[in-house]
Amino acid sequence: MKILLLGASGQLGQTLIPYLEQAGDLVTSARQGADEGLDLAHRGQASALIKKLAPDVIVNAAAYTQVEQAEQESEQAFAINRDGVAEVADAARAVGARLIHFSTDFVFDGRAAPYSETDTPAPLNVYGQSKLEGEQAISTSGCHHWIFRTSWVYNFKGNNFFNTMLRLAAERDALQVINDQRGTPTWTHTIARVVRRSLAEKGLADGIYHLCDDGSSSWYDFAREIFRLNGVPIKLTPIGQDAWPSKVERPADSRLITEKLQAALGWQPQSWQESLAECVAMKRETAGNA
Ligand SMILES: NC(=O)c1ccc[n+]([C@@H]2O[C@H](COP(=O)([O-])OP(=O)(O)OC[C@H]3O[C@@H](n4cnc5c(N)ncnc54)[C@H](OP(=O)(O)O)[C@@H]3O)[C@@H](O)[C@H]2O)c1
Calpha distance 73→201 (Å, rounded) = 39
pLDDT at residue number 87: 98
pLDDT at residue number 217: 98
Calpha distance 57→198 (Å, rounded) = 12
Q: Which of 50, 64, 65 gets mutated to test ligand 1 (max ligand atoms within 8 A of its CB)?
A: 65
Q: What residues pair up with 3 in beta bridges, in sequence order? A: 26, 57
CB of 49 closer than 8 Å to CB of 29: yes
2-156+186-213+252-270 has which CATH code? 3.40.50.720
Please choose, from the candidates 30, 26, 57, 210, the residue with its C-alpha nearest in 3D space to the C-alpha of residue 145.
Answer: 57
CB of 94 closer than 8 Å to CB of 54: no
pLDDT at residue number 244: 84
CB of 215 closer than 8 Å to CB of 273: yes
Q: What residues pair up with 28 in beta bridges, in sequence order? A: 5
- Find the Cα–Cα–Cα–Cα dihedral 116, 118, 124, 127, rounded to 10°: 90
Question: How far away, in angstroms, is 235 Cα from ligand 1 center?
Answer: 32
- Rg of the chain over Cα atoms, rounded to whole angstroms, equals 19
Active-site residue, selected from the candidate residues 127, 154, 209, 220: 127
104, containing H or E segment: strand 98-104
Calpha distance 58→169 (Å, rounded) = 38
Question: How far away, in angstroms, is 61 Cα from ligand 1 center?
Answer: 6
For 175-209, how does the pLDDT look when each residue is reduced to its tens digit (9 = 90+)? 999 999 999 999 999 999 999 999 998 789 999 99
pLDDT at residue number 36: 95
Ligand 1 proximity of 13 Cβ (cutoff 6 Å): yes
pLDDT at residue number 288: 87
Question: How far away, in angstroms, is 234 Cα from ligand 1 center?
Answer: 30
Point out the residues of the chain with pLDDT beneath 50.
none
Ligand 1 proximity of 181 Cβ (cutoff 6 Å): no
Specify the 3-state DSSP secondary structure of 30.
strand
Known catalytic membership, residue 209: no
- Find the Cα–Cα–Cα–Cα dihedral 114, 119, 120, 125, rounded to 10°: 30
Q: C-alpha 197: how far from its chain's center? A: 17
CB of 71 closer than 8 Å to CB of 18: no
